[in-house]
């Protein structure tokens, strides 16, 4: 459905050829493990994020909260906020209140290391977290859920997921995270102590019926899977990290994550106050589309859907040219006459995630709609931006030392923040 020249695939053909006769009408399915847009009359649909806000009971990030963010922090909102990539939240206003009052909070996000390198979609919460950390000057904890991947990916071994965690730390270090502000931990390494005590308290507070209703578990689900939500919930309680927060239980966190992770933290918020902890706040992102189109997210499991952080410039170019779905017309002549649709054009969509220049992004969309910018030109700009983004991190990765990796994963590394002295 893609092309390497200015001849593009019409938008009407988005993924429809991949559907079986039995799949003519399917509801949208968004879980922590599956992300699929709806199917209507045999045609795959883009993911409906407004429907997710309504279904999950979250709040839309609107102009008012962006204005307040800028007023409270003194910083123009990050491009991922400005463009609605982070589009939904739970109690973001409460975090802004705390910052305004000089009260402490921390950031928490994570990564499930299902393979040896992350793809560019995985980088979004980390890019955003690095910016938030710099703006707010707060601690960040990053959970590597190697245990989850072992439980939910039957083909992976314990050794493989553990090795993938180590490689994830290396890529995160190359993004500029520093041990003075950041603690990165593998669940397989950090399990025990205060962290495990919180896991036990959480697991006793969530019933099997609640877990079934939230995650769809059934009688054939492995007990490790059923228990795992309590493990992902625990870092949302500050007492899981006594080396940073001591014995305090009154410091909330802000969790930037993709919207499919919200079910974990709905349960966490339900049990937080009974366990005498603060409810976590969340800010949810949309999914980076797969190369094949906006009806599904980029996946580590399928190489042809993703651009990986270890891809070479030539591989990036080939993937975008060969696989990136186009919103253009069937020929360059028709494209010049009728224009294209940037809303479904994958190359343009990637630019909205990785190109910081608002004016250029707007000009690219307008030029594409008018037919003044061709599919080939849009892909060429996307290729250059992604090559630069990935290339810079690959270059920094060469200078990451073993000592830096050890410090980032050392729970006792000195991490001092003035705001932690306030209640």
Low-confidence ranges of the chain (pLDDT < 50): 1-19
Rounded to whole angstroms, how far apart are CA atoms 123 and 130?
A: 10
Output the pLDDT for position 23.
56
pTM: 0.91
Output the pLDDT for position 412.
94
Cα separations in angstroms, 64 against 70, 72, 101, 168, 349: 10, 12, 19, 36, 25
Output the pLDDT for position 32.
85
Output the pLDDT for position 20.
52
Output the pLDDT for position 40.
86
**Measured on CA atoms in the order 230, 296, 123, 409, is the torsion positive or negative?**
positive
Residues 6+ apart with CB under 8 A from 30: 36, 47, 52, 259, 260
Output the pLDDT for position 299.
82
Residues 6+ apart with CB under 8 A from 148: 112, 187, 228, 231, 232
Mean pLDDT over the full length of the chain: 91
Output the pLDDT for position 5.
34
Output the pLDDT for position 4.
33
Q: Alpha-carbon dihedral of residues 72, 75, 76, 80, nearest 10 degrees?
A: -90
Rounded to whole angstroms, how far apart are CA atoms 177 and 204?
A: 34
């Amino acid at each position: 459905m893609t092309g390497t020249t200015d001849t593009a695939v019409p938008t009407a053909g988005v993924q429809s050829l991949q559907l079986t006769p039995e799949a003519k009408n399917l509801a949208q399915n968004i879980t922590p493990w599956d992300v699929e847009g709806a199917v209507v009359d045999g045609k795959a649909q883009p993911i409906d994020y407004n429907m997710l806000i309504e279904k999950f009971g979250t709040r839309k990030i609107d102009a008012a909260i962006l204005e307040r963010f800028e007023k409270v922090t003194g910083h123009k909102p990050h491009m991922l906020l400005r463009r609605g990539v982070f589009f939904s939240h739970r109690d973001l206003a409460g975090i802004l209140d705390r910052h305004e009052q000089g009260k402490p909070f921390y950031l928490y996000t994570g990564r499930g290391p299902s393979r040896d390198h992350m793809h560019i979609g995985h980088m979004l919460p980390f890019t955003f977290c690095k910016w938030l950390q710099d703006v707010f000057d707060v601690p960040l904890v990053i959970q590597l859920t190697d245990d989850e991947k072992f439980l939910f990916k039957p083909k992976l071994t314990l050794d493989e997921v553990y090795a993938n965690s180590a490689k994830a730390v290396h890529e995160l270090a190359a993004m500029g995270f520093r041990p003075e502000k950041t603690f990165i931990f593998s669940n397989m390494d950090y399990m025990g102590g205060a962290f495990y005590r919180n896991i036990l308290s959480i697991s006793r507070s969530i019933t099997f019926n609640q877990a079934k209703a939230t995650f769809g578990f059934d009688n054939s689900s492995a007990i490790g899977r059923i228990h795992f939500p309590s493990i992902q919930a625990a870092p949302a309680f500050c007492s899981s990290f006594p080396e940073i927060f001591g014995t305090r239980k009154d410091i909330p966190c802000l969790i930037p994550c993709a919207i499919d992770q919200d079910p974990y933290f709905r349960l966490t918020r339900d049990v937080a106050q009974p366990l005498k902890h603060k409810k976590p706040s969340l800010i949810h992102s949309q999914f980076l589309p797969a190369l094949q189109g906006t009806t599904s997210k980029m996946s580590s499991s399928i190489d042809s859907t993703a651009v990986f952080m270890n891809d070479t410039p030539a591989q990036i170019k080939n993937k975008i040219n060969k696989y990136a779905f186009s919103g253009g017309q069937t020929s360059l002549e028709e494209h010049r006459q009728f224009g294209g649709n940037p809303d479904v054009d994958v190359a343009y969509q990637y630019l909205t995630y990785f190109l910081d220049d608002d004016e250029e992004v707007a000009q690219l969309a307008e030029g594409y709609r008018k037919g003044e910018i061709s599919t080939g030109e849009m892909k060429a700009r996307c290729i250059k931006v992604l090559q630069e983004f990935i290339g810079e991190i690959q270059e920094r990765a060469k200078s990451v030392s073993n000592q830096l990796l050890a410090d980032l994963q050392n729970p006792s590394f000195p991490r001092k923040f003035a705001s932690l002295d306030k209640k």
